[in-house]
Structure 1
């Protein structure tokens, strides 16, 4: 029996007393090889070897999380963070406030610049606002079985030594505080297996024609003749015509093994570096929406970068002290169980905010300038015909 006939028997559920010698181990291992062309190529569990230190590693999922080894960071030198200086910046000048509003109005096509040019200032009220940011750069590792078509490449099997444990594998670290993912094969875990998708034949039965190479004629609906009793010219009266998906061969190339019939199976280590960020604005009840702060830049007051940072204490703004303590504790609880914290960095920015009160056409209005860019937030700007409010 040739391979095409065997594939046809598999599709139709027929039994055969003959299995080619080269398929004996594969056929026994995979008696129900799926035939869907979109079938995920994850190998079945009985195809995977037992590797010491990698028990529980599966295939086709998100990978088995490997907890980091217990590390002692208390011995690392940590310095108490010290702010560069106390910040208390006065409000901007009227000229600067007017120029900021003019630029804001000019940037919106449906806004008139007349209010910005003609307004009369009533008050400029400054707010000392600070933004605290904690960054924890972490590394996590997971493992899963994966496969690639075998085409004669080197096979790093267990004959070359024992596989190192996941956290013993040296992987080059990317730029600090930048997200990155790297996949590396675990040394000495590779082996060659027959492809489970095609039963090591390199081709799979075409499900469109059930491995026969022919399908029912759609023109005559398989009758062989038309309604006029004339012979169907499309199928020459046979009621069947050649399958277009497999070109009449009854089989299609296996995408899993790329027609080689063999796979190299190995454990893949996925190393994920992630910059975890917690941020909080110590707002002075200015009334400026929190989302507005996301669009502006502040002036750096403190940058503290260490393996493990201390909570900030003694800063003039109490909200910053509380934010630092809460953020560091939260990262320790959430991240230490699943990742290795490589480096931490905490930053304090001063964000200048001024609320400007003015009068135009005998009515009172106000707007905010914020950030070193003096961006404007003016939801009630007069002489407008749309809902734009911030530059």
Structure 2
């Protein structure tokens, strides 16, 4: 066991913060981050690509039912175009969506204190573990979570400065008197030449905040009179996600695709992702290469990367042209949910809901 004089400076050392010279926690309270340890796992080899990239073509019946559902979900839309319109052409514009998720762990620390409740004051007993040596159990992969941990061997007990170890503070509402001037008689004790019924002629109202005591429990030590001071380690797990959708020339806005899912063609989770070399659409390979580099550059220096996951979906998009009342119209059916976009639906009116 390391002696206290060798391990850490005395509690009353010049400079104030007793944690300043603790190995791994120097300059506590200053802005910055705790650099993660360097990764030791090798980059994995490329993953084989699946062979089946097709998605079944949309049938006219499904396209019509999708438009019917769309019309019925709008109170101002009539059902005739969906029921009686004649589909003249259906053209697929299926596209790919690539998603990269990087699951990271970030650690930061600060000096903290809490009301003392009998915890062991273990400061000085042995050197504290380094920030990245403190045990913290991560949540399920690719889920966000935050945990605060009291670092072992950093705890000490001190008297509460806020109340000078009394456990109570003077009530500011009544200046410690326990009462205030009666609001009904303005402190005179009389109302219309009779004793005030509110204060029984005393001219005083019991302070409602301190219940007449004149003191309140100290809000710092919660009446315990002492504080436990320690180093608090904050551990944040975060799933960082970026998507890329290959441009398609159907006329449907790419933003519309954010609300739908597609057919999952590829999903791979490992310590370090590798660009999807050999993917049939070169745009996906380029997107995977670019996003992997961006995530490495953005997260590797300030976070510990625990896992990366790549997903490729084939999103169905069908442009449907149809004829109704001598006019030509179109709509889009997209996503596994068969969602519809029909900006110029031909049978609509202005509804007034009373």
TM-score band, normalised by the shorter chain? Answer: 0.7 to 0.9
Moved over 6 A (4+): none
Counterpart selection for 1:256 from 208, 213, 220: 220
- Structure 2 gaps, min length 5: 1-11
Partner of 1:198: 163
* TM-score, scaled to structure 1: 0.79
Deviation at 1:308, TM superposition (A): 1.3
Q: 2:100 aligned with 1:134, yes or no?
A: yes
Q: 2:139 aligned with 1:147, yes or no?
A: no
Over the aligned positions, Cα root-mean-square deviation in angstroms equals: 2.5
Instruction: Report SS of the residue matched to 2:287.
Output: helix
- CA pair 330-386 structure 1, distance change in 2 beyond 3 A: farther
Counterpart selection for 2:84 from 103, 106, 118: 118
Counterpart selection for 2:137 from 151, 172, 180: 172
Give, in whole Å, the separation in 2 of the partners of 1:254 and 1:47: 23
Q: 2:36 aligned with 1:68, yes or no?
A: yes
Deviation at 1:185, TM superposition (A): 1.2
| 1:1-391 correspondence runs (5 A) | 46=16, 49-50=19-20, 51-58=22-29, 65-73=33-41, 76-85=42-51, 87-89=53-55, 91-159=57-125, 161-226=126-191, 228=192, 232-235=196-199, 239-385=203-349
Q: Is 2:19–2:28's contact at 8 Å kept on the other side of the alignment?
A: no
**Alignment deviations for residues 194-232 of structure 1 (CA, whole Å, 9 cap, x no partner):** 112222110011001111223222223334545x55554
Q: Is 1:157–1:189's contact at 8 Å kept on the other side of the alignment?
A: yes
Give, in whole Å, the separation in 2 of the partners of 1:283 and 1:306: 28
Give, in whole Å, the separation in 2 of the partners of 1:386 and 1:106: 15
Give, in whole Å, the separation in 2 of the partners of 1:248 and 1:128: 74
Instruction: Report SS of the residue matched to 1:97.
Output: helix
Q: Is 2:55–2:314's contact at 8 Å kept on the other side of the alignment?
A: no
Give, in whole Å, the separation in 1 of the partners of 2:292 and 2:104: 14
Q: Is 1:146–1:266's contact at 8 Å kept on the other side of the alignment?
A: yes
Q: Is 1:90–1:126's contact at 8 Å kept on the other side of the alignment?
A: no
